[in-house]
Amino acid sequence: MHLDKQILRELFDAAVAAADPMRVIAPALPDRPKGRVVIIGAGKASARMGEAVEAAWGPCEGLIVTRDGYERPLTGIEVAAASHPVPDARGVKATRRICALLAGLGPDDHVIALISGGGSSLLSCPAGKITLQEEQTLSRELLVSGAPIGEMNVLRKHLSRVKGGGLAALAAPAPMLSLIISDVPGDDPGLVASGPTVPDCSTQAQAREIAARWNISLSAAQHAVLEGPRQTPAPDAACFATVRNRVVAAPSQSLDAAAALAKQNGISVRHLGDALEGEARTLAQAQAALARREQAQLAPGQQMLLLSGGECTVTRRGKGVGGPNAEFALALAIALNGAPGIAAIACDTDGVDGGAEVAGAFIDATTLARATALGHAADSYLEDNDAHRFFAALSDQVITGPTLTNVNDFRAILISSA
């Protein structure tokens, strides 16, 4: 299975490379405007996006906030680091400074916003009397709730001064071009980083309903914000007339790059979609059954690939470090139960799976047998949401370090004829 592992890693690397900001930003940039240009950004890919802007335009003025370890050495744009996935005081400070940069701009000034996944926690400016500690508690609860990212971000928007179009309102009347790397199913720009430059059509009533449905406990200050005046600009607010939002990289492009490489290697591809959601273990069971059915149809010597993206969730039941990609891989291995001729990789393209500095994991027909030989019961690890420790023991983790981009989950199941 060593060759299968190599091929799967090459497919993942191709998917990540396709979303490299150094590839996708320059074609989306206009000629540098005359007059003052302010670059702002937030997200795991934002510093790399800023690097791409300066490569095209030269040194620029501005401020970007990114995750620790994702900084880049920019010439003019300042890069601040903050915590992800739970916000911290550094993120609050950087967000306030971004707001100050935008305040007072006029119609002859220009703003380039560089937005990518992770910005929901990195852009931290709680509304009303909500404290940072209360925002941190909310983030932790959301992360283990099992709620889909779209619903998480509706709630986040209505509890923030800058999300849901808030940065667009601050920048007006200066023209703003927002370049977005999507990490959300469906590529809705209003959900990436909770849409700080995008009109928001959701309501406070929807946010309250989401909190109730997923058993998210809200503080008195958070309740007050959700029951008081709307924090986000109205969808038809005048500030959006001068904003252009453009998605420059998306999961579909990365999956297409992996599919092209697979076909070059003589592997047929079945694309299952770039916007799959739901519990990681449930999706794994469904894809394991599909892999078995597809294998039964292969002629001798044939290979095929099941390729998918999106964002799975993990409902925390145990004490392990959750991580939807590692949990998907572990549940897939259990469902396949050592079936020969099937190997897989599941990774997050940003290099971080859940709360672990691990992109994801490999599995193959030997995974369960090797674990049993080490005394590790796969079912027990799955029930404890401890997939990362399981794969660490097998040396089957995928560790990339910061990839400097983020187009969400990448899953590839390589099937060889039995």
Report d(CA 334, CA 61) in Å as an integer: 52
- CATH code of 21-249, in short, is 3.40.50.10180
Q: What is the 3-state secondary structure (H, E, C) of the chain?
A: CHHHHHHHHHHHHHHHHHCCHHHHCHHHCCCCCCCCEEEEEECCCHHHHHHHHHHHHCCCEEEEEEECCCCCCCCCCEEEEECCCCCCHHHHHHHHHHHHHHCCCCCCCEEEEEEECCHHHHCCCECCCCCHHHHHHHHHHHHCCCCCHHHHHHHHHHCECCCCCHHHHHHCCCCEEEEEECCCCCCCCCCHHHCCCCCCCCCHHHHHHHHHHCCCCCCHHHHHHHHCCCCCCCCCCHHHHHEEEEEEECHHHHHHHHHHHHHHCCCEEEECCCCEEEEHHHHHHHHHHHHHHHHHHCCCCCEEEEEEEEEEECCCCCCCCCCHHHHHHHHHHHHHCCCCCEEEEEEECCCCECCECCCEEEECCCHHHHHHHCCCCHHHHHHCCCHHHHHHHHCCEECCCCCCCCCCEEEEEEEECC
pLDDT at position 360, please? 97
With CA atoms as reference, report the closest residue to 182 among 251, 238, 113.
251
Q: What does pLDDT average to over the chain?
A: 96
pLDDT tens digits for 308-319? 999 999 988 888
pLDDT tens digits for 204-250? 999 999 999 999 999 999 999 999 999 999 999 999 999 999 999 99
Domain ranges of the chain: 2-14+252-416, 21-249
Fold agreement between 2-14+252-416 and 21-249: no
pLDDT band of residue 355 (cuts 50, 70, 90) is: confident
> Which CATH entry fits the domain spanning 2-14+252-416: 3.40.1480.10, 1.10.3720.10, 2.10.70.10, 3.30.470.30?
3.40.1480.10
pLDDT at position 322, please? 66
Rounded mean pLDDT, 7-13: 98
pLDDT tens digits for 71-121? 999 999 999 999 999 999 999 999 999 999 999 899 999 999 999 999 999
pLDDT tens digits for 382-417? 999 999 999 999 999 999 999 999 999 999 999 999
pLDDT band of residue 356 (cuts 50, 70, 90) is: confident
pLDDT band of residue 1 (cuts 50, 70, 90) is: very low
The yes-or-no verdict on residue 22 having pLDDT over 50 is yes
Is 159 in contact with 130 (CB distance < 8 Å)? yes
pLDDT at position 303, please? 97
pLDDT tens digits for 113-164? 999 999 999 999 999 999 999 999 999 999 889 899 999 999 999 999 999 9
pLDDT at position 405, please? 97
The yes-or-no verdict on residue 267 having pLDDT over 90 is yes
